[in-house]
């Protein structure tokens, strides 16, 4: 299964269904089953800012108890959209044209020309230890049971 390593709190926000797009400077042609790997790095400063703080707290997380160095979710990578514009409060992605606002906007980096990887069918998993890598990588570990 393909996987991507994402720093915390963003990996957990995806696992919780609070973040639908992962923003990157590069596009991918890959579509299909995908694992979200939480890096060992936690941006503790951003975890203390809104809306991060309240969204994480709603699910019982803080900067100090986010899982790291493990797979935290599986999903379908369903599309890769290019960002058309960003006015500092909302962004527009193309193909199809869609406006990104609210927490989704706050949880990404939507500068024009970047890419928004759309994830669907996200299933949070019990943490499965794994060593991450840069870029897309193949995760050969046993798939964790989804949380109910």
Q: How many domains does the chain have?
A: 1
Instruction: Specify whether the backbone of 108 is left (phi greater than 0), alpha (psi in -120 to 50) or beta.
Output: beta
Residue 88 lies in a domain: no
Residue 94 lies in a domain: no
Residue 8 lies in a domain: yes
Residue 104 lies in a domain: no
pTM: 0.91
- pLDDT, tens digit, for every residue of 23-43? 999 999 999 999 999 999 999
Judged against a pLDDT cut of 80, whether residue 117 lies above it is answered with yes
Asked if residues 31 and 40 have their Cβ atoms less than 8 Å apart, the reply is: no
Supply 33's token pair: 């089953």
Residue 46 lies in a domain: yes
Lowest mean pLDDT, pick from 76-80, 94-98, 124-128, 142-146: 142-146
Any idea which residue has 């973040």 for tokens? 19
Residue 121 lies in a domain: yes
Any idea which residue has 């926000």 for tokens? 13
DSSP 16-42: TTS--EEEESS-----EEEEEEEEEEE
Residue 143 lies in a domain: no
Portion of the chain with pLDDT greater than 90, in percent: 86
- 27 — phi, psi (to 5°)? -90, 160
pLDDT value of position 148: 32
**Average confidence (pLDDT) over 106-124:** 97
Which domain range does residue 132 map to? 2-80+116-138
Residue 127 lies in a domain: yes
Query: Which CATH number does the domain housing residue 42 bear?
Result: 2.30.130.30
- pLDDT, tens digit, for every residue of 55-90? 999 999 999 999 999 999 999 999 999 999 999 999
């Amino acid at each position: 299964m393909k996987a991507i390593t994402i720093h915390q709190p963003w990996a957990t926000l995806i696992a919780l269904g609070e973040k639908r797009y992962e923003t990157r400077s590069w596009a991918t042609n890959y579509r299909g089953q995908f694992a979200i790997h939480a890096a060992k790095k936690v941006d503790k400063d951003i975890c203390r800012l809104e809306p991060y703080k309240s969204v994480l707290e709603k699910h019982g997380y803080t900067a100090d108890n986010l899982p790291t160095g493990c797979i935290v979710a599986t999903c379908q990578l369903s599309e890769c959209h290019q960002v058309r514009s960003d006015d500092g409060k909302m962004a527009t992605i193309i193909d199809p044209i869609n406006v990104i606002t609210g927490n989704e906007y706050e949880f990404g980096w939507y500068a024009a020309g970047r890419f928004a990887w759309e994830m669907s069918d996200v299933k949070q998993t019990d943490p499965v230890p794994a060593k991450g890598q840069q870029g897309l990588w193949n995760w050969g570990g046993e798939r964790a049971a989804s949380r109910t």
